[in-house]
Structure 1
């Protein structure tokens, strides 16, 4: 394609953007440009599931953001990795395939977002999914996003599941079926021992289509408007010294830069809170006070244990023989720790109890990620002893933060303030999650495997001491959402068809459009949202064409 005009420009080749580009370009008459700020996803560490530990710190493939000091976390800055390559965060994430709860999506619909109830989004989860178990009422068997079981049961995960059962949580074989509650093994977005990012799932089949152009190292700096209609994108290619280019579109700009950079780009382009835009000297295209507000994230609390048996991934990684065995197992069978990543088991349970010992929430309010290794933080160097980790997070936090620009340069990170643990419910539920993890660790099934609790340790006994541990050690579990939320109230940014309020030709399609955070990992919901958006985009294009034809006929 020689000229720079397209039908659709997709900004961001992440979990949602790859879906949009792949699906929209299925129509050979539709010209699509996909802009990605990062490089091509060539690194072996992207495609090898355990490579998560490497890409977690890679400035080449990761934005390596940090939040502003959070007063609720004793003034700490929290490291926020976000993907910067084809596939975005789906190329560097923990691979876990979780959709959330039926009630999450029914709540979206109840907030006034027609078409987003569970029964209406389930077909899009199914369309996207290629589950190795095959098709069923809840799963797709031939979709592009491959989903696999963990091949071998692990003694430590079995003990965890048994311990969860002993405190009243049932064993489950499917967190994405009729009920989420339970303990079991996660399914992963892997295929035959390799990561299945959305770049692998949706772009690889599409990349040679003549109607799709993929530009990498292309950082969008501004949206281009004709009045209040988005007509293009200005972007810099090749880093700070690179050329500024402008691409124009006939139909729509589709913003899929994620919950940090989608609101950042809107604000840089004159869409956002008036006071912020005027303070930054940006002409106001359209005032939308909710752009960058409503930031939500899952706060992860990691409990570390020394294991009494040498059966952990620490033991394998700390031994040359163990490393050789891991490599040989992957090379020969595409199985073992290299094919799994970090977290194998999990649990969804109701941890917060009232004064009578009854669960406060009607559905699970805590999620566990259980790893057969231990380190000081996610992606860090493993400890020299046999270790494992139980991480807990509150599923539906009330705390709300914000994202606000502080520079006119799109390459400069905006202000990111999560305001973790700023409500009493969040504090109480998080402490209850830590106590639930301790209860499982102390269960008869797990007791033989626990040599000692390293973190928080016996010195943290009271609720106040556990809360202080959470403030001093809590970290993101990588699910920022909500900063361009869907709705119809004055603080909403997009409508139920993901169109930005007050302007034409512009949609936001990524996790920033979630009105509330889903109860679980966010990659699968992001893919679902993009699949649904493609249908809405096509429907709206057909309706517009029909209206034009009718008008011309009358004329």
Structure 2
């Protein structure tokens, strides 16, 4: 009854009884992108009035601690059945709450390939366009730790890294890593090359120890404990501005358009503590609701493919065929190997090393298209372990098995999916289709290349002969069938992007095409998938979008 009233209210809304407020900007979503936008648009000297609305809960006292990939904050977004996965559903963890998915992600701080941006991204968004914002957002450890430890020269530190930005980037915990991991990287250095600094665009191929978006408690101590660094903490936490209002537990129901200028957005309707509010905007609404909820809100508001909206009875404001299209998600696959010696449990980030590789399958790509992580001791066979549970062999064997796990990513898949609303209710989940129905030969071969790379390293290198006993997983679990391993266990890397891509869904300034006064800044804006984790690039993009807004209205 209550939700039915809200739905009706959204489409035959009456202004009587509404509390109306007016702001310069309204930011929808206070996650990774929205935190940056709310902070930058409300800062001096402009001091614009900003209302930031988030559907999720307020930050909790331990908000900088590492949260799980499931729990009370997860809205349980699953895909429809995917044919290639034998009709399995793909799990897509989110974090509904202030801080967004940065409260649960892997915190990997890695720059995208310069070659990829320069060749695939539109003008205005190539490497040289984003690089100043990469510097602006970060405070890098190479400025306060000696180069003898970091391997980054003083010259390269100043050239490729920022010092005064709000977001801390913490070093790998070199001194806490076991010899097994150090020797693995030494072996890699001989074969494919080791990267002390994978953010240096002159060398973005090889293996590395992972740096993270974490804040050290003692910067001068390379072994210092660290806490999670989200953009909420970096940009907004502790800031008090009379011109900035942040509301949690506030669900935006739809965008409001002018009765006469029907494509001009004039604000939003939102529900807060059981009441409906109307917030008007003088300048723009910024959508930072994420890869699923940004296209969902646009479609609920009548902006999207006409053929999707009309059957649901949504009045079409703008027939933008790209809203909800172009969902691109990196594919992930686990492997596990028994080791000759026990690997101790290590702090988060102390055991993570990896590779950026080029499969050579796409001759037009001069950037990496495979990413591999290694973890010292992680008893799971898929990132969806909150659903599947720990693997009995890895987790519960007696006596315990010593093992190391690897996670292979296809970072540049061919597969494309879509996001579309299923009803008129803003509280319903959208339909998510990853497009993993019939994978291309490239997508299959890319994952197999990564699997073969790990197998070769574990059997044919000096490191493998010293430390690896045998392959545990997939091993012989599927009668040696790598095809069955993929179909039964391939999962999302949780790096979804592209559902309101710049240059198609939006113009080159990130403004939604077909309507006025609405701009996007979250991973839905990505025009392509990246060759690495998306967070570093997202932070830089939103810094640039904030500058675009400022230059338009200053």
TM-score by length of 2: 0.85
| 2:146 alignment partner in structure 1 | none
Aligned residue in 2 for 1:141? 163
**Does 2:462 align with 1:439?**
no
Distance in 2 separating the partners of 1:518 and 1:176? 14
Q: How does 1:523-542 map to 2 (within 5 A)?
A: 523-542=535-554
Structure 1 stretches lacking a partner, 5+ long: 314-335, 543-555
- Are positions 1:57 and 2:70 aligned together? yes
Q: Does 1:220 align with 2:252?
A: yes
Q: In the superposition, relative to structure 1, how do residues 447 and 461 fare at CA in structure 2: closer, same or farther (>3 Å)?
A: farther
- The Cα offsets for residues 178-203 of structure 1, whole Å up to 9 and x where unpaired, read as 22101010100001211010100011
Within the candidate set 378, 385, 399, 2:415 is matched to 399
Compared with structure 1, are the counterparts of its residues 428 and 270 closer, same or farther at alpha carbon in structure 2 (3 Å cutoff)?
same
Q: Secondary structure at the match of 2:326?
A: coil
Pairwise CA distance, 1:244: 2.2
2:48–2:243 contact (8 Å) kept in structure 1: yes
Cα distance, 1:372 vs. partner? 1.3
Of residues 96, 118, 121, the one that matches 2:127 is 118
Q: Secondary structure at the match of 2:325?
A: coil
Q: Secondary structure at the match of 1:494?
A: coil
Structure 2 stretches lacking a partner, 5+ long: 1-18, 144-156, 217-225
Query: Which residue among 366, 372, 395 is the counterpart of 1:368?
Result: 372
Tell me the TM-score normalised to structure 1 length.
0.85
Out of 48, 51, 58, the position equivalent to 1:33 is 51
Matched, 1:251 2:283: yes
CA distance in 2 between counterparts of 1:131 and 1:477 reads 26
Determine if contact 1:63/1:81 at 8 Å carries over to the other structure: yes
Residue-by-residue CA offset, 1:65-123 (whole Å, 9 max, x unaligned) = 111111121111011101211221111101110121002221344xxx32111011100
Q: 2:354 and 2:519 mapped to 1: Cα distance?
A: 35
Query: What SS does the corresponding residue of 2:395 show, helix, strand or coil?
Result: coil
Q: 1:18 to 1:143 in 2, by over 3 A?
A: same
Aligned to 1:480: 496
In structure 2, how many angstroms separate the alpha carbons of the residues matched to 1:148 and 1:365? Answer: 25
Within the candidate set 415, 427, 447, 1:430 is matched to 447
Match of 1:127 among 119, 126, 136: 136
CA RMSD of aligned residues (A): 2.0
**Whole-Å Cα distance in 1 between the matches of residues 366 and 50 of structure 2?**
44
* Counterpart check, 1:296 vs 2:318: no
Q: Write out the 4+ residue segments of structure 1 that deviate beyond 4 Å after TM superposition.
A: 379-382, 459-462
The C-alpha deviation readout for 1:275-294, integer Å capped at 9, x for no partner, is: 11001110000001111111
Of 505, 511, 525 in structure 1, the residue corresponding to residue 517 of structure 2 is: 505
Within a 5 Å distance, the mapping from 1:318-397 to structure 2 comes to 337-338=347-348, 340=349, 344-352=352-360, 361-376=365-380, 377-378=382-383, 381=390, 383-384=395-396, 385-397=401-413
Partner Cα distance (1:266, 1:182) in 2: 41
CA distance in 1 between counterparts of 2:277 and 2:180 reads 54
How many residues align? The count is 493
Q: Residues 9 and 137 of structure 1: is their aligned pair in 2 closer, same or farther, counting only changes over 3 Å?
A: same
Quote the offset at 1:398 in angstroms. 1.2
